[in-house]
Copies of this chain bind each other. A is one copy, B any other.
């Protein structure tokens, strides 16, 4: 598995000198020493309410939140991303997981036709730092910006301030950036996705999670992603996993995003946790095999099918 050394970690200039070691340690933990990010997204209980966790096509195991943490423990992930309270209720029993605290969230009850989206910051960073101080293995924070929303300014400002504070304290930052709102005609327009990537850089994020671009001109999505990964510069770009598809399709997309598109990882939620514990665990390993160890799709599929094992 390709590994980077402590010296190869590029530390942003807004990480205060006294937090430099902490930042490097967090970066190596989150990327499992590879510089690549496998993010297990577990923030949907607010974002999508219970619809992602219970119903047709979803394993009943997913109805209980502990499922997420069991996957986190038994599978192979870089970070488990969830809201502060969720982590606070389970972290003591799952201390080995790297946690990324999602700082904002909204439900999907109010439709876009009624109001543009705003996802409010739910707690200040001090609350997160206190949890770290109290022993929770928090390596970073996350924040979602709906670019082009009428509330873009509030989210940009909350994110901007949080990034400064998080870096100063040695925490990583992942931005979720989704163009959305009345003014946004095509949320997955490649130029817009590239724009989102550039915004993440200007705000100083370490990683940005975007939706895979959907070109209208026949370009392959992974090809179109190249522009975005150039635009994001030193901010690593990862794509959202989206709704559940079959494993081969999913792993192939991921492989192309990394090897063609220049992505440095992935951010996957529903595709993982809507499966039974065993299957979900194997999927995290297959994803990580591609993301962190440059496996081929075929080899990763073998991991998913239980024909090969993968661990770090």
Contact A13 B152 (CB under 8 A): no
Report the Cα distance A115→B82, complex, angstroms.
32
Is B183 a contact of A122 with CB atoms below 8 Å?
no
CB-based nearest B residue for A160: B122
From A46-54, A70-78, A289-297, the one touching the partner chain is A46-54
- Residues in B whose Cβ lies below 8 Å from that of A298: none
Q: Which of B123, B147, B230 contacts A164 (CB 8 A)?
A: B123
A227: Cβ under 8 A from any B Cβ: yes
Q: Count residues of chain A with CB under 8 A from any CB of chain B.
A: 95
**1/0 per position for A107-133, CB-CB distance to B under 8 A?**
101110011001111111001001101
Assuming A14-B88, A109-B179, is B199 touching A46 (CB within 8 A)?
yes
Residues of chain B within 8 A of A230, CB atoms compared: 54, 63-64
The copy count of this chain in the complex is 5
Q: CB of A242 within 8 A of chain B?
A: no
Let me know if A234 is at the binding interface, CB within 8 A: yes
Q: Which of B90, B149, B161 contacts A127 (CB 8 A)?
A: B161
A195 within 8 A of B: yes
Contacts of A133 in B (CB 8 A): 16
Contact A89 B120 (CB under 8 A): no
Digitize A142-179: 1 where CB-to-B-CB distance is under 8 Å, 0 elsewhere: 00000111101110110111011101100000000001
What residues make up the interface of A, taking CB atoms closer than 8 Å to B? 10-17, 43, 45-46, 49-51, 53-54, 63-66, 82-92, 105-107, 109-111, 114-115, 118-124, 127, 130-131, 133-136, 147-150, 152-154, 156-157, 159-161, 163-165, 167-168, 179, 181-184, 191-192, 194-199, 201-205, 227-228, 230-231, 233-235
